Each structure stands twice: as C-alpha cells, then as structure tokens.
Structure 1
Amino acid sequence: MTDPTSLGRHDSWEGVRAVVAGFGVSGFAATDNLNHLGATVTALDESDGGPDSDRRERAELLEVLGATVRLEPGATATLPDDVDLVVTSPGWKPSAPLLAQARDRGIPVWGEVELAWRLRDPDHAAPWLCVTGTNGKTTTVQMLDSILRAAGLRSVAVGNVGLPIVEAVMDPEPYDVLAVELSSFQLHYTDSMSAESAAVLNIAEDHLDWYTGPTGMAEYAADKGRIYERVQRACVYNVADPETERLVREADVTEGARAIGFTLGMPGVGMLGVVDDILVDRAFIEQRDTSAAELCTLADLTLPGQAGAAPHLVANALAAAALARSHGVSQAAVREGLRSFRPDGHRIATVAEIDGVTWVDDSKATNPHAAQSSLQAYEPVVWVAGGLAKGASFDELVLAVRGRLRGVVLLGRDRDLIAEALSRHAPDVPVIAVDADETGAEHDSMERVVEVAAALARPGDTVLLAPGCASMDMFANYAERGDAFAAAVRRRQVP
C-alpha cells in the first residue's frame, strides 16, 4: 500500500489508490484533482442524480480522463480491495458501511476540505479565513469575501458555499486569501487544517438526525469547535453564545492567537460591537484600551425594503469584519465591502408589498434558530413554517417570538411538531395547517398557504416564510420552496 498522508501538491500520487465516496460537487472536485495528480481514483455513489442532474455527463468526462465512476444502487455497499485513501463527501455519516470498512482496515478517511488543505501550494499558500456555526455561515462568508475584494485582494468564497475548496487551492493563478464556509459535517472529516483566523457564529439544535442520541448535541458542538484547532491569529466568538467562547477556550491554537468577541452591545477591549448606530472595533487598533474605531453604520447594512438592519445581519457583519481585520484589512475596506453586500436569494428577501402587507422570503431559515433570528426582525408577523424538522424542537423558538405572532400557517411533514409547541406556549395565536392533499399537488399547496396568510394579515404586518425546517419533503431544496412562495405572492398582485 502507498501512504498518501505525506504527499502534497508537488508530489507524484502515482500508485495511490483512492476511493471518493459521493459524487456531488465536492466529490467531483476531489475525483478530478486526485486523477490529475496521478492517483488511481474510483468514485462511488448510489445515484446518478436523476434526469435533471449533470452527474452522468461529469462521470463520462472523468472516465475519459482515466478515473472510474460507479453511479448505481449498491455502489457504496462494499469498499474495494487495495485502497490507500477514502475521500468522503460531507453528508456521509461515519457509520456508513464504506467509511466503517475503511476505519476497520486502517485506511485514512479525509473530507474534501482535508484534501484541499494538503494540496495547497507551499510557495503560494493563501491563508484561510474560516466560518462555521448553526446559522449565518453563508451570509458571513459572502460579507467577508466582499470586504476582502474591497481591500483589493484576490479572494473567493469557498467550501460549503461557492467553489469547492480543492478547486480553489489547485487554481494555477493563486488567490491572496480564501473565505471558507465549513459545516459541521466538513469539519468532522478535517484533521490538519490551520486557519489564519476562524469564527463560530452560534451553536443551536440542528442536524440531530445526523448527531443522534444523548450526546448528539455535544458531538455537534465539538465538530464545530474543530475549526479553532491550530488557528494562527484570531478565534472569533459570539459573546451572546457562551458555547462559542467555551470552544475557543478548549481549542489548541497556535501560540499568539487571540480570542476576539463580537457583540450587538457595547464591546469590551478585544471585541467588536455596536455603539449607538455604529459598528466599532476595539480589538485591532492600538488604542483599544481607551477608544474604538468606526467600521460602518447600521444604515450601511439596511437592506432594501427593510426599516432597519436585522440583528442577525449585524452579528454576521461583525464576525466578517473581525476576520477581515485580523487579516489586516482597513476600516475603509470593511465599510465599502459591507455597504456593497447583498445577500443571496431566499435570505430575508422582500418579495412584495400588497395592501399594506409586506411579504418576505427567508426560505433559507431551515432550522429553529435561523427562524427565530428572522422572526425577531419583524413585528407583527404572520409566520409561514414547516417541513422536515431534522430532529429539532420548537418550544424555545415559540417562547421567544410568541408576542410577535399575528398568526401561523403550517405546511410540510413535521408541521404538527410546530403546532404542538404553539399549542403549549402560544395558545391564543391562530394556527392554520395546510395539507398538500387539499390541492392534489404539493407545489400548489403554496398557493393555499399564501391565501391563508393573506386572510390572517393586516395592514402593517409582515408575512414571513421562515420555515425552521428543511424543504425536501415537498421541494427539491430551499430555493425551490422560496421560489414557489414568491411566485404565489406575486400572483396576488393586481396587474
């Protein structure tokens, strides 16, 4: 067997026999680049993705280049003989037969992130500024990328958003810096990464269908905390979430790395925060004991159609600013980057205002913590929620927002979980459940949802799609769900 653990970008990988588990975006990138380095690569997946997927076409391309790709039921049941390395896609549980067999045989199991870290060019190794957390990762990374670009740096958003990391590190034209979004799944399979700086935005219930049992939440938090291991400059944590600070304290960091907090309140020394309506830095200036440097104003973060900056957007901006400032980015670039930032679709996006009611699509709020952050930006609210709960509970969410609710419209497989929490903690709030069977087609049920929400709302209210659940029971993904909501709303507008 050939030991791949000592190999890097400029080594020959000839003789290394690698299996890539999963053939999604990261699996394709891993297969492509390992094949390019000279390894003998076999990619395995149980599905070709269906008729609308380009997996089959990509598989044919890689097979022409010399890789082996098997996309069929049963393809991942048994690990082939004579394997030196397994690279897994992030959603695979450690208990998956292929990965369990690899561990039993002493074969290293890497994620695509681990592979990318090992393939960095030692002569042009762009530093990684990394972000994880239950919610806000994508927005924070995109804010960070916007700031870095405003500073004139060649940056790109990679990882759980944007470009696969292995593609970025293998780019012949090196980047100056990478803005890296990492999920707990990705971090679980990452062992040697040493980020320049890293942030954990928050820790809340999520993916408890992956992290099961009484220790599930502890294991989830521990995987998030892996982002701080070997950090070189700054471990950024959320002052309002003590769990994130605990993870910093427990991390084995590079000597000299600092703990940097962010808060929506007045910042202490070594923190970023808010004074009046100004985001300020008391961490990366020489006079931090006695003063603070202005970064931007809340007005700079206010999105079109909103009366003010949503609190969770402010928190994301502070985390992004902290990471950028740790890299040496100027105050002016932070302001310019945040001013020009616009979130992707389906993130607190105003769809329309009809008869005095504002309709907002936050379909990306796929867990209770994200939904709570979204709900706390509006009042009064007709809340549209439901879908796949992924093992989460809704009592804490309902307790936090019940005073804001005009009414609730529920849909999706786990809608009864939310209805039960509302019954326990907000019994006076009107709740209407919409069953897909009412219309005979799952997607058409969104028409009924919008119709019911319109009947509950009054002028001055916001109807907010913040489902608190994943979408795959009724839709392909959260974007399709948001599109269905927006389309149904727009059909109510008078031509």
Structure 2
Amino acid sequence: GHGAVAVGNVGTPIVAAVAGAPAADGADHAAGADPAGGPDVLAVELSSYQLHWSDTVAPYAAAVLNVAPDHLDWHGSMESYAADKGKIYALGGMAIVNADDAWSVRLAEGAARTVGFTLGTPAPGQLGVVDGLLVDRAFVADPANEAVELAELHDVRPFAPHNVANALAAAALARAYGVPAEAVREGLRAYRPDPHRNAQVATVAKVDYVDDSKATNPHAAAASLAAYESVVWIAGGLLKGADVEDLVRSRADRLRGAVLLGADRAQIARALARHAPNVPVVEVSGIETMSMDDIMDRVVAAATRLAAPGDTVLLAPAGASFDMFTDYGARGDAFAAAVLRLAENR
C-alpha cells in the first residue's frame, strides 16, 4: 500500500530516488507514490563499502542478514569488515537482527530496540517458523502471548533455508513500518527472484541444473549447497581473501563431484582434498584463449559426466566472477546457455 522503490548498492542510487531521477532500469520507480514528494519508502541495500564511507544515512529500520568473511582483501580483517556492516545499526532506527547469526546479534548491541528473526520457534520479540508457518511475535500487541501468521513456507520461492531467513528479515522490516500481515503474505507470493539466484535452468536425463551464480562468497555457496541433497558443484573465481575450509568441511557430505574453474580454483581443490578426499574433482584449465561459451560447455560437460539421475549440478561459485566474466550475471548466463545446448543435443 505504500509507494516504494528499491535503491542502493545495485540499481538506482538513493540520491537519485530522492531527487526524482529515473530509475536505473528505466522504470517509473515512484509508481504509486506521492507525485510531489517522491516515494513513501526507500528499501535500501547498502554494501560494506558504502557503509564504510557513510555517516548520515539514518534508516527507519535496518537488518544485517549475516556476517561471514568476504571482501577481506579490501577491509583488511574480519573485524573491520564486520564493523563497517554494523554501522547500519549505529546510524539509528530499529535493529532487525538474525538471531541465528552471532555477528548480527553482536553488532546490534546498544540499539534502542531490537527485533530478531530465526529459522526456529520465535521467542517474544522475534519472527520465526512454527509448523510450516512464518509467524510474528514482535509486532503484535502482546508478544508474550500472541503471534500472527505471516505466510506459509511454500510462499517462499525458491524454497531454501537462507531464503526463508531472507523472507523473515524482509517481513520484519515491513512490519516495522506498519505493513499488515496480509500484505506481507501477498508480497512474498508475488515476489519473483532476480536471475542467478538458485534458478532452475533445466532437467536433463533426470539431473537438475541450477544457476546460483550470485553465490559470490563461501557463505552464500554454503547456503546454496544446503538446499540440495546430492550435488555436483561448479565452483571457483576470485575468493577475495576468504577461506573455503569451513564451506567444504560443512557441505562435504552433499558432494557427488566438483568442477573447478577460475583464478582461485586451486585453493578450493586443496580444501576438497583435505575434507572430501573421495569426491572426484575436475579442474578446468587451459582456457585462456577459449570463448566463454566454449569454457562453459567444457564445465557443464565435465559436471554432467560426474552426475547421476537425481543429482543437482549447481553453479554456486563461492567467488567473484571478474577473473573470467564481466559479472556474476554473465557467468550465470553462460552456464544457462551451455545447459540449454546440452539439453538440445540429448
């Protein structure tokens, strides 16, 4: 019911929305808003880099979804990276915290009001999951004795634990602004994920091929792998100073095979040798003069040879794409095109 626009790190800058400039995608980003005053609400994503330099953005409510090693080559240390993320809480407003993530909770210490979200049963003052339902025990009259149903688990698409957490965080931010429970449900049902986020590309010979090129760090890749039981994992790229040991150790039992490419593939290969020694690994090398299509054809062919009916071939690289591709979108597009060529030739 509110005129809103998504702005910030990807797409339309905050200042452009405030100034009434056209949205980055050419759409009327203020549709439904007051024509004289612009959008009612800005839904803002801020990167750790943007927060590093920001001292005046004061959110009405703010959430840190999680903190895991990333961009350490720029920030210098995990502590500095976390501190920059935590600035989103220091700038004011209600703190929405991931109760299942110790860093998120720690960064919100000292906030005037804190609301948690969890994949478990929510305590008073939290949002969580009960009997297949997303429920709110924070934005109700009597949190100790009252809860309101927001949605069902199958309303979250694509379904995966990390996407349920994302939905709860988004619901908490909306509820903080007074959005009714029914509107949260409709918002989740109407949501269509952006490309390259656990996107099912095709099923070929009873093997699913999934594009999660947006998984550009080990934490995101771990969340992606957790959504599938038996995986041929396509990984590699620029790790940006992050460690993959915990990722491989925690998800080794799901791996049927791995196909590695990119600048830091050797680091992932070493982790696999230590923590998943029985998992077959193919390193795709010698591709410096090949086209992107040829590279991905080779990668997909190698993954297909490792896969059995019922498996998922999953592109969840755990690294950035800039060593080989323009961005993660180009990487995902190349993967999807290679899968479709495979399907056509079967």
TM-score of the aligned structures, taking structure 2 as reference length: 0.93
String of CA shifts for 1:5-50, please: whole Å, max 9, x gaps. Answer: xxxxxxxxxxxxxxxxxxxxxxxxxxxxxxxxxxxxxxxxxxxxxx
In structure 1, what is the Cα distance between the partners aligned to 2:288 and 2:322? 19
1:195 maps to 2:56: no
Alignment-derived partner of residue 489 in structure 1: 339
In structure 2, what is the Cα distance between the partners aligned to 1:440 and 1:363? 20
Equivalences for 1:272-351 in 2 at 5 Å?
272-303=127-158, 309-351=159-201
String of CA shifts for 1:451-473, please: whole Å, max 9, x gaps. Answer: 01001001110000000000011
In structure 1, what is the Cα distance between the partners aligned to 2:278 and 2:49? 39
Alignment equivalent of 1:236, drawn from 66, 84, 96: 96
Alignment-derived partner of residue 23 in structure 2: none
1:473 maps to 2:333: no
1:204 maps to 2:68: yes
| Equivalent pair of 1:380/1:406 in contact (CA under 8 Å) | yes
Alignment-derived partner of residue 13 in structure 2: 164
Structure 2 vs 1, CA of residues 383 and 455 (structure 1 numbering), >3 Å: closer, same or farther? same
In structure 1, what is the Cα distance between the partners aligned to 2:169 and 2:207? 32
Partner-residue secondary structure (3-state), 1:494: helix
Q: CA RMSD in A?
A: 1.3
In structure 2, what is the Cα distance between the partners aligned to 1:460 and 1:201? 31
Alignment-derived partner of residue 259 in structure 1: 114
Give the AA of the match of 1:198. Answer: A
String of CA shifts for 1:110-169, please: whole Å, max 9, x gaps. Answer: xxxxxxxxxxxxxxxxxxxxxxxxxxxxxxxxxxxxxxxxxx110000001231111111
Q: Which has the larger radius of gyration?
A: 1
String of CA shifts for 1:269-295, please: whole Å, max 9, x gaps. Answer: 100000010000000001211131100
In structure 1, what is the Cα distance between the partners aligned to 2:86 and 2:140? 27
Give the AA of the match of 1:247. Answer: L
| Equivalent pair of 2:157/2:192 in contact (CA under 8 Å) | no
Q: Which runs of 5+ in 2 are unaligned?
A: 21-35
Alignment equivalent of 1:222, drawn from 79, 83, 90: 83
Deviation at 1:243, TM superposition (A): 1.1
Equivalences for 1:356-435 in 2 at 5 Å?
356-435=206-285
Structure 2 vs 1, CA of residues 327 and 165 (structure 1 numbering), >3 Å: closer, same or farther? same
In structure 2, what is the Cα distance between the partners aligned to 1:295 and 1:223? 32
Equivalences for 1:136-155 in 2 at 5 Å?
152-155=1-4
String of CA shifts for 1:286-311, please: whole Å, max 9, x gaps. Answer: 121113110000111143xxxxx200
Report runs of 4+ in structure 1 exceeding 3 Å deviation: 438-443
Structure 2 vs 1, CA of residues 439 and 167 (structure 1 numbering), >3 Å: closer, same or farther? closer
String of CA shifts for 1:158-203, please: whole Å, max 9, x gaps. Answer: 0012311111111164211100000010001111222110000000
Q: Percent identity?
A: 59
In structure 1, what is the Cα distance between the partners aligned to 2:221 and 2:248? 10
Deviation at 1:443, TM superposition (A): 4.4
User: Structure with the greater relative contact order (CA < 8 A, sep ≥ 6): 1 or 2?
Assistant: 2
Give the AA of the match of 1:329. Answer: V
In structure 1, what is the Cα distance between the partners aligned to 2:339 and 2:232? 14
Partner-residue secondary structure (3-state), 1:210: helix
| Equivalent pair of 1:436/1:444 in contact (CA under 8 Å) | no
Q: Which runs of 5+ in 1 are unaligned?
A: 1-151, 304-308
Alignment equivalent of 2:125, drawn from 270, 273, 276: 270
String of CA shifts for 1:37-93, please: whole Å, max 9, x gaps. Answer: xxxxxxxxxxxxxxxxxxxxxxxxxxxxxxxxxxxxxxxxxxxxxxxxxxxxxxxxx
Partner-residue secondary structure (3-state), 2:251: helix
Deviation at 1:246, TM superposition (A): 0.9
Partner-residue secondary structure (3-state), 2:74: coil
| Equivalent pair of 1:365/1:374 in contact (CA under 8 Å) | yes
String of CA shifts for 1:312-344, please: whole Å, max 9, x gaps. Answer: 100000000000000000000000000110111
String of CA shifts for 1:203-226, please: whole Å, max 9, x gaps. Answer: 0000011012xxx11110000000
Alignment-derived partner of residue 39 in structure 2: 175
The 10-residue stretch of structure 1 (241-250 or 465-474) with the greater mean CA deviation from structure 2: 241-250
TM-score of the aligned structures, taking structure 1 as reference length: 0.65
String of CA shifts for 1:424-476, please: whole Å, max 9, x gaps. Answer: 11111111101143873454211110001001001110000000000011111
In structure 2, what is the Cα distance between the partners aligned to 1:446 and 1:494? 15
Deviation at 1:358, TM superposition (A): 0.4
